[in-house]
């Protein structure tokens, strides 16, 4: 969880802006909510290495030097990260040198982009091999220096199925192309990620791109033309799928509604669960047949485990309000023959007890419902039919009910 400069500022950054952003993270209570990383996303260095072969910071943008900047960030109780893809010096064949440089500058996090790839007859590697080089350099420096390794975030936009191998080298990996400030982009990314939620756990995370971003959480203003309900859906999905949560909006002009979404404590509690590290997954696609890809209408019914109960996400992908119904035992985490209390994670209300079924009424267009269900004991006696799912429902006398 943290802040990323790219969507709000692109290359228009300097040390004053970075420090202002870090201080706003403190004063707006974002750091208290868990956002602790301040990531400088590109355009911070000179275009060429120095005579010793090292990357050097842009003297105009960062006159105090990068180490002084990261010291200031650390003094605020935050961490610092780095990233580049705008044809500033890359790290191929300089991995060990750069891993040391980033450490000496005080960085904690490296988002490493698969940009500006040398010709094949130079690299003799695929994407996985190029990331292995940097991962090895980080590990080697950590061992030789006795210092913690950089967190390594792989930015390869879903190429070569990073969810199948990237945890060998880093802690997160991009699963799709860059996010755009429109609902269709949110829906497309969520659709793609619905098919490999299994890859996320405590040790590695599918990265769905910027979550609380200038592209998508400056509601009806700035550079993010999402409605309030769409912004809630965006944040809920990214958080419950355990994607990294990086803010990218202009914090100085962030609206009250944006900050309320970004700091929802009950949603963040699921994202930061210290016992369960896995993502929610679809149990029913809804509009589409199950396991059918649809970039316009991704899966609508999701559930997953948490240390405090079963989490549900209901996503209305229609352009009009809709009632959304499901049987509790459609989720693999719900026990048959039990009843469950219902907690709404957006209204922050306890909404009674669900027995066998639940209906969310009039879910807004592109809106979301996030629920936490907790076991409340046996369901009442005498319910009919005797099985919530009428498939091989068998009486003790051998009579099949269904």
Enzyme catalytic residues: 113, 178
Tell me if residue 226 falls in helix, strand or coil.
coil
Angular region, 358: left φ>0, alpha ψ -120 to 50, beta rest: beta
Residue burial 49-59, b: 16+ Cβ < 10 Å; e: rest? beeeeebbbbe
d(CA 383, CA 355): 10
Greatest pairwise CA separation for the chain in angstroms: 87
Report residue 23 as tokens. Answer: 């201080």
d(CA 67, CA 376): 54
DSSP letters along 78-123, please?
-EEEEE--SSS---TT-HHHHHHHHHHTT--EEEEE--SPPPHHHH
* Length of the chain as a residue count: 402
Report residue 33 as tokens. Answer: 């909510």
DSSP annotation of 178: -
């Amino acid at each position: 969880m943290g802040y990323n400069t790219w969507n709000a500022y692109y290359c228009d950054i300097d040390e004053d802006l970075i420090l202002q952003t870090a201080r706003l993270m403190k004063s707006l209570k974002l750091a208290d909510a868990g956002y602790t990383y301040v990531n400088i996303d590109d355009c911070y260095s000179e275009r060429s290495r120095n005579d010793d072969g090292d990357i050097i910071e842009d003297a105009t943008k960062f006159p105090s030097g990068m180490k002084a900047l990261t010291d200031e960030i650390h003094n605020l109780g935050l961490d610092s990260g780095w990233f580049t893809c705008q044809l500033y010096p890359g790290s191929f064949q300089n991995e060990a040198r750069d891993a040391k440089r980033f450490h000496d500058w005080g960085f904690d996090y490296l988002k490493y982009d698969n940009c500006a790839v040398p010709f094949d007859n130079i690299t003799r590697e695929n994407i996985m091999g190029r990331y292995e080089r940097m991962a090895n350099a980080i590990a080697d420096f950590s061992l030789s220096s006795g210092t913690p390794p950089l967190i390594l975030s792989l930015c390869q936009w879903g190429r070569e199925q990073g969810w199948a191998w990237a945890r060998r080298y880093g802690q997160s990996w991009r699963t799709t192309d860059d996010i755009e400030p429109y609902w269709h982009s949110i829906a497309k990314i969520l659709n793609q990620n619905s098919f490999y939620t299994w890859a996320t756990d405590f040790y590695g995370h599918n990265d769905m791109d910027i979550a609380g971003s200038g592209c998508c959480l400056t509601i009806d203003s700035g550079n993010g033309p999402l409605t309030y309900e769409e912004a809630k859906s965006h944040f809920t999905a990214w958080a419950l799928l355990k994607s990294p949560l990086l803010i990218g909006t202009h914090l100085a002009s962030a609206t009250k509604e944006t900050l309320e979404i970004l700091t929802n404590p009950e949603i963040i509690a699921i994202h930061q669960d210290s016992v369960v590290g896995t993502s929610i997954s679809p149990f029913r696609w809804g509009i589409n047949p199950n396991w059918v890809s649809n970039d316009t209408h991704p899966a609508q019914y999701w559930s997953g485990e948490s240390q405090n109960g079963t989490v549900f996400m209901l996503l209305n992908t229609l352009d009009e309000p809709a009632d959304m119904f499901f049987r509790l035992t459609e989720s693999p985490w719900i026990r048959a023959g039990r009843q469950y209390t219902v907690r709404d994670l957006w209204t922050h209300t306890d909404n009674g007890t669900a027995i066998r079924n639940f209906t969310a009424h009039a879910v807004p267009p592109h809106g979301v419902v996030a629920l936490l269900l907790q076991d409340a004991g046996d369901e009442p006696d005498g319910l009919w039919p005797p099985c919530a799912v009428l498939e091989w429902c068998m009486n003790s006398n051998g009579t099949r009910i269904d």
